């Protein structure tokens, strides 16, 4: 997927006096991808409200269209999908362009693994560096075959198996994408597909598969291990889906409001699924004032409005076992740590090295460039906080086609002496196309 503007868009973010106002963030990215995929596999008409209209989700929509689903946009965030039924996807005529989106790629590989078709996946420079063996290995055991670029990377061509062989799989890495890929493959596979998850990860696939009528159950063992069982050859029923606001996007205004002195910001309609809400717990442990009001359920997911008030933060050393519940939020959590009192030590974050960029290295390099003292570890980072003193600032920060790096350093700019320049803000369009107007609305940009 090419960006509308093919030239990098550098931007500088400078100190904000205070942030105020009430905002909403776009729909949850994980739930948006799954809404399109599962609706495309149901027989009949599904309606989705609050869909994230970011480039990653649009890549999923284009792929599902290329394989026979009818997908139309009605109004902002409101989409209609006419599904083809489980097993009914058609051979795509051209390569599936996944842009920057690892979730589209890995989940679709699972979905197609049990279809009788051949598909080629291509992506941008960032996605083409990311490892795919974590999905090609289990999906090969189900009968699919793959021809990948060196290192199990994109471009990659896969041939699905129909019928596929059901798999009983213990996840070697805490990854919702791998779990979901196997479950999606299991939908069109005769027999029982089982995924054993020693460390819980986001459970949107399980919730939504059940909501669409699949026969799926989850058993939780005494040590917290989750065993997910799916009966194959499922028939999915079309749904009306309401997508909650993305907690991973809410993370940016949340941290900005905590850091910029005198701020108070309300972020309405934020998804609060426990498998995603780790950053809120972490920021509270650091001393952050985050109040949840209007707690409710929307579309089978817990949701609430957050009132965030500027607070003096202190350093933390979070337990690595909590990593999956805030896996995408570490970059902005590192910015909070850079402004806190004392030292923060983050460990057990090997997975951050294979995100849209190597987020440990990219954050360490960027934080140093704006005057923060950091030590990069193999599996994490040690950050010396400024104790609330403005960060020096500087740049340009190399964002390496990583939306969350760009937004994290934009937040850092709001509490800097000299401003923080980001080399390229375009990647923000993958997950949070309204980031700049939202920051402007809160008073974070001139």
Task: Cite the annotated binding site by residue number.
Answer: 29-30, 34, 102, 130, 175, 177, 328, 355, 359, 404
214 binds ligand S3P (CB under 6 A): no
Site for ligand S3P (CB under 6 A): which residue of 327, 333, 406, 410? 327
177 binds ligand S3P (CB under 6 A): yes
CB of 110 vs ligand S3P, minimal distance in Å: 11
- The distance of Cα 143 from the centroid of its chain, to the nearest Å, equals 28
Contact in structure between 136 and 110 (CB atoms under 8 Å): no
126 binds ligand S3P (CB under 6 A): no
Question: Is 223 part of the annotated catalytic residue set?
Answer: no
CB of 206 vs ligand S3P, minimal distance in Å: 11
Strand ranges inside 221-298, DSSP E: 226-231, 240-242, 264-271, 289-298
Site for ligand S3P (CB under 6 A): which residue of 25, 38, 67, 176? 176
325 binds ligand S3P (CB under 6 A): no
Residue (323 or 414) nearer to ligand S3P, CB: 323
Q: Is 373 helix (H, G, I), strand (E, B) or coil?
A: strand
What lies within 8 Å, CB to CB, of 283 at 6+ separation is 254, 255, 258, 290, 313, 333, 336
249 binds ligand S3P (CB under 6 A): no
Question: Element (H or E) spanning 411, and its range?
Answer: helix 403-413
104 binds ligand S3P (CB under 6 A): no
Find the part of the chain contacting ligand S3P (CB under 6 A) among 38-46, 155-163, 175-183, 223-231.
Answer: 175-183
Contact in structure between 127 and 148 (CB atoms under 8 Å): no
136 binds ligand S3P (CB under 6 A): no
CA–CA distance from 443 to each of 15, 62, 180, 426, 437 (Å)? 10, 36, 39, 21, 10
CB of 261 vs ligand S3P, minimal distance in Å: 31
Phi, psi for 374 (deg, rounded to 5): -135, 150
Write down the catalytic residue from 28, 328, 402, 423.
328
- Identify residues 191-210 at the interface with ligand S3P (CB under 6 A): 202
What percent of the residues of the chain are helix, what percent strand, and what percent coil, each to the nearest 5? Answer: 35, 30, 40
CB of 328 vs ligand S3P, minimal distance in Å: 5
Annotated binding site for 3-phosphoshikimate: 29-30, 34, 175, 177, 328, 355
Q: What is the dihedral of CA 115, 118, 124, 126, to 10 degrees?
A: 60
* Contact residues for ligand S3P, defined by CB under 6 A: 30, 103, 175-177, 180, 202, 327-328, 351
Task: Write out the catalytic residue numbers.
Answer: 328
């Amino acid at each position: 997927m090419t960006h509308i503007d093919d030239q990098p868009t550098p931007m500088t973010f400078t100190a904000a006096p205070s942030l105020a106002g009430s905002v909403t963030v776009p729909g949850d990215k994980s739930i948006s991808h799954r809404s399109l995929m599962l609706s495309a596999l149901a027989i009949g008409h599904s309606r989705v409200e609050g869909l994230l209209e970011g480039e990653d989700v649009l890549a999923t929509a284009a792929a599902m269209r290329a394989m026979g689903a009818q997908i139309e946009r009605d109004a902002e965030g409101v989409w209609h999908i006419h599904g083809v039924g489980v097993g009914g996807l058609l051979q795509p005529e051209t390569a599936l362009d996944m842009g920057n989106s690892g979730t589209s790629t890995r989940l679709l590989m699972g979905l197609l693994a049990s279809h009788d078709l051949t598909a080629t996946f291509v992506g941008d420079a960032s996605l083409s560096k990311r490892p795919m063996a974590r999905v090609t290995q289990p999906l090969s055991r189900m009968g699919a075959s793959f021809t990948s670029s060196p290192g199990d990377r994109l471009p990659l061509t896969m041939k699905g198996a129909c019928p596929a062989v059901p798999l009983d799989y213990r996840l070697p890495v805490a990854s919702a994408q791998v779990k979901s890929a196997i479950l999606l493959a299991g939908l069109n596979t005769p027999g029982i597909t089982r995924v054993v998850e020693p460390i819980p990860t986001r459970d949107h696939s399980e919730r939504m598969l059940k909501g669409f009528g699949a026969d799926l159950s989850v058993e939780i063992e005494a040590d917290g291990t989750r065993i997910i069982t799916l009966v194959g050859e499922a028939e999915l029923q079309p749904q009306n889906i309401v997508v909650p606001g993305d907690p991973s996007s809410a993370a940016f205004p949340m941290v900005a409001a905590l850091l910029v002195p005198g701020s108070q910001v309300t972020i309405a309609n934020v998804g609060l699924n426990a498998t995603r809400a780790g950053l809120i717990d972490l920021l509270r442990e650091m001393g952050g004032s985050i109040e949840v009001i209007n707690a409710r359920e929307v579309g089978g997911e817990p949701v609430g409005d957050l009132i965030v008030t500027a607070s003096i933060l202190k350093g933390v050393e979070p337990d690595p076992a909590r990593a999956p519940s805030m896996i995408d939020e570490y970059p902005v959590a590192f910015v909070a740590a850079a402004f806190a009192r004392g030292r923060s030590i983050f460990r057990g974050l090997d997975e951050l090295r294979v995100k849209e960029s190597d987020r440990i290295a990219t954050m360490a390099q960027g934080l140093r460039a704006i005057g923060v003292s950091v030590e990069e570890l193999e599996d994490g980072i040690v950050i010396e906080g400024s104790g609330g003193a403005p960060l020096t600032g500087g740049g340009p920060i190399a964002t390496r086609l990583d939306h969350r790096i760009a937004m994290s350093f934009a937040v850092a700019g709001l509490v800097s002496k000299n401003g923080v320049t980001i080399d390229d803000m375009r990647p923000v369009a993958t997950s949070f196309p309204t980031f700049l107007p939202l920051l402007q609305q809160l008073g974070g940009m001139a």
